[in-house]
Chain A
Amino acid sequence: MLAWNKKSFLIVDDFTDFRSSVRSMLRELGVQEVDIADTGEQALRLCSQKRYDFILHDFNLGDGKKNGQQVLEDLMTDKLMSHESVFVMVTAENSQAMVMSALEWEPDAYLTKPFNRASLAQRLEKIIQRKNLLKPILQALDRGKPAEVLAACIQLTKQDPRFAPLCLRYKADALRDLNQHEPLETFLKGILADRPQPWTYSALGKLLFKRGRHSEAQVIYEQAVKAFPMMPVLYDGLADVLVAAGDGKRAQQVLEDAVRLSPFAVRRQRLLGKLAMNNEDFESASKAYRHAVSQGQFSRFKDPESNLGLAQALINKCGDRGLDARTRVEINQTLTDVTKEHTDDAGVQVRARLIKATSVQSSDPEMAAKLTEQAMARFESMDHFLSADAALAVALQLKQLGQEDAGAGILKICAEVYGDDPVVMKNIAKQTDDPEILGTGKVAMDLNLQGIRSYRGGNLAEAQDLFRRALALQPKNISIALNMAQSLLHLGVQHLGAAGLQECQACLKLVGKMPETDSRFERYQKLRSRAFGV
């Protein structure tokens, strides 16, 4: 029997009635410490002050509020809850709809209302039993040590092979975090051959995708969607693969299927908006972005891109017909919200003004000119680079607002900063034929590629020389500067002379201008902490 009197509980529910009935069930079990909350926000606050052994959270706390799944995501991501603590999702109906949307973070159990004391006690005791068994794994997870997680999994399986199924997922995650690609692939394929589960497909698809084996990843996701047609997250994976393969049309269809299954996913709606936008399906784009904005309100995945995307999609949707009053109000609202919320984000300020200027270009040219001027001034003083997508959008808007030269200037910077990415160059080519913009990077890119070959071949001095020459030609290119810094740091910072360290730090200062959303940001942070010390 559990020592209930030593356990702390948090009950999160908006029904007073329910809270008191659960509280009395817990009292009868001997529980003494029970806190209550009626919103997810309050629950998060309480969890940041105190560690609970058990959290009983109602899934649905009303429209426009954080739901239980979002709270669980926040708790785990912000490390407000130990892996040893127990999170039980309480649901008013069948939990299947919720189960579908939860793949990354799953609660320890679902309890369907109404439940009796016997059921509650039985579930909690079982979960605690299991968690005690898995203790070494859970503690290693809390410490954030995947190697220890892996060792604990192996130890537990050795102790009793019956525990192997309980370890599968922990083991897969640990192998992933340790970048042990081949063992992970073999492991996942072994599971899939016998008893496939949605997470296994997802993990293998992600691994293959990450390793650039896109067509294999696509095959896996196609199988996955067939085997588990109700799991939206598998559709997300398939869409990513299709985007990479350049099939944006089908990617959009796939995400539309996923959204039909589970409309409550901010990131999915935002990506759908972006895909529809690229496919020039502005109706669908505005719809998806609108969802992303309204659902994002209480989500950690809230993102200014949703607001900016919504405004742009609405403008494009109306095209030459001009904007009606209602659309105008919606555009103003979404742009006002985003500029108020991101006052320090110069990129957002610039882009919101340009979108607004575009929307009033024909109705109020004076206002449009004023906004454009403001945006350009703000852009001049920007310290960071825009993301490639944002830069391309800004360049196009400037051109449409009659600022051809400024637009071309942005394209030129974009080509220099992101010129090693063929997709970016292709998109730049859609906006300009200027050989000075399209052709300048060629030599530097070749040098960069040669440098990578030398680096991989172990010829460090040659690699450094090649990167240095490439960087001299394209001093703003993020990839080259990153490669330069990495090749300098290769033997360890202690082996760099004063000049070398200075060169390395200068490279990283430049790289630091990239937006935090860039996929290389993590690599940059790692190098920076080595070069500058933590």
Chain B
Amino acid sequence: MTDLDQGLDFSMVIASTVHDMKNSLANLMHAHGQWVTQLPEDQRGVPEQGVINYQFAHLNSMLVQLLGLYKLGVNQLPLRPDYHELDDFLEAQLALHEEVLNSRGIVARYEVDDFGLPGFFDRELIGSVVSNVVVNAIRYARKEILLSAGEVDGQLVITINDDGPGFPAQLVENQTDYVLGINQHSGSTGLGLYFAARIARQHQRQGARGRIEIANGGELGGGKFSIYLP
């Protein structure tokens, strides 16, 4: 082995590869979107389109998450909190996934309690967390997803409900040990929760830190994911 080989930082190699993969995927998604518009109407809504759209979204959110985890690891995740209107934020999250939702026949809506102030958070980071959870919910939901925002004890809570089978019991029981979940049958869910928890913790106000919570039941009877931001 040469010195150069020893100096190779593998996590950096992965990160830069993921970066390229993400660009590649973006081009692929773009080209596919163009192609679909040229198809005759009756061929656009076929079930395969639903699979393709969902897998695009899933791949994309995994890559975003992987890059985020890398930056967290090397302590280079920029935080830029600002005030955001919650209806705008949630509406934008749903608009992002419009095609997937339509092609899978899932009705998604959002609700915002009118509690005065807009939310204070990093739009990009919380956006990537919500997007991950929504993609996961799309996978398990039968026909409904609900995004809501409200206030609990002076903190902002963003919740994603679905009407699917819910989170595995052991994941809900061992809430604080998300990484354990990685080995479970649910694949990347544990890692996703770990990422979400880390992002939540980055948000703090006068000593209080953000957190996440998962539960089953909720308004739609399926999985319920909540992120609390001080």
Contact = CB atoms under 8 A, between A and B. Distances in A.
Given A162-B116, A230-B79, A92 B23 contact: yes
Nearest to B22: A93
Nearest to B96: A119
B124 A116 contact: no
A114 B80 contact: no
A99 B117 contact: no
B78 A96 contact: yes
B64 interface: yes
Given A122-B95, A229-B75, A96 B124 contact: yes
12 contacts: A17-B34, A96-B78, A100-B80, A113-B30, A114-B26, A122-B92, A165-B117, A165-B120, A194-B206, A195-B81, A197-B81, A230-B76
A99 B78 contact: yes
A58 B204 CA distance: 32
A114 B120 CA distance: 26
B219 interface: no
Contacts of B92: 119, 122-123, 126
Interface stretch (B40-48, B83-91, B137-145, B192-200): B83-91
A118 B92 CA distance: 8
A270 B79 CA distance: 27
Interface of B: 19, 22-23, 26, 29-30, 33-34, 37, 64, 67, 75-83, 85, 88, 91-92, 95-96, 98-99, 116-118, 120, 124, 205-206
Interface in A218-256: 228-231
A308 B34 CA distance: 50
B82 A197 contact: yes
Contact of B80 (A122, A168, A198): A198
The contact size tier of chain A is: 35 or more
A229 B33 CA distance: 38
Given A166-B83, A228-B79, A17 B30 contact: yes
Task: Identify whether the interface residues of B are mostly helix, strand, loop, or mixed.
Answer: helix
A449 to B, nearest CB: 45
Interface in A297-354: none
B91 A126 contact: yes
A196 to B, nearest CB: 8
Nearest to B33: A114
Interface in A18-68: 18, 21, 24
A118 B98 contact: yes
B87 to A, nearest CB: 9
Given A21-B34, A122-B91, A122-B92, A93 B19 contact: yes
A95 interface: yes
Contacts of B26: 92-93, 113-114
A161 interface: yes
B219 to A, nearest CB: 24
A21 B33 contact: yes
Given A126-B85, A166-B118, 6 more contacts: A18-B30, A93-B26, A96-B77, A195-B205, A197-B82, A198-B80
Nearest to A228: B79
A94 B33 contact: no
A100 B34 contact: no
Given A126-B91, A198-B80, A95 B124 contact: yes
A194 to B, nearest CB: 7
B118 A165 contact: yes
A293 to B, nearest CB: 28
Interface of A: 17-18, 21, 24, 92-96, 99-100, 110, 113-116, 118-119, 121-123, 126, 130, 161-162, 165-166, 168, 194-195, 197-198, 228-231
Nearest to B118: A165
B116 A100 contact: no
B88 A126 contact: yes
A114 B83 CA distance: 25
Given A99-B78, A123-B92, A166-B83, A116 B99 contact: yes
Contacts of A198: 80
A340 to B, nearest CB: 39
A230 B77 CA distance: 7
In this complex, the member of B34, B67, B80, B118 whose beta carbon has the largest number of chain A beta carbons within 10 angstroms is B80
A94 B34 contact: no
A70 B36 CA distance: 35
A520 B88 CA distance: 46
Contacts of B98: 116, 118-119
Nearest to B34: A21
Nearest to B19: A93
Contacts of A113: 26, 30
Contacts of B206: 194
A510 B98 CA distance: 67
Contacts of B96: 115-116, 118-119
Contacts of B37: 24
A330 to B, nearest CB: 28
A230 B78 contact: yes
A123 B88 CA distance: 8
Contacts of A168: 83
A93 B95 CA distance: 18
A115 B78 CA distance: 23
B28 to A, nearest CB: 9
A194 B205 contact: yes
A116 B78 contact: no
Nearest to B230: A195
Interface centre among A161, A168, A230 (most CB of B within 10 A): A230
Nearest first, the 4 closest Cβ-Cβ pairs linking A and B are A230-B78, A165-B83, A118-B95, A118-B98
A356 to B, nearest CB: 40
Contact of A162 (B22, B64, B67, B117): B117
A473 B67 CA distance: 66
B6 to A, nearest CB: 23
Contacts of A93: 19, 22-23, 26
Nearest to A229: B75
Contacts of B79: 228, 230
B91 to A, nearest CB: 6
Contacts of B116: 161-162
Nearest to B115: A162
A166 B26 CA distance: 33
A96 B34 CA distance: 27
A161 to B, nearest CB: 7
Contacts of B75: 229
A237 to B, nearest CB: 16
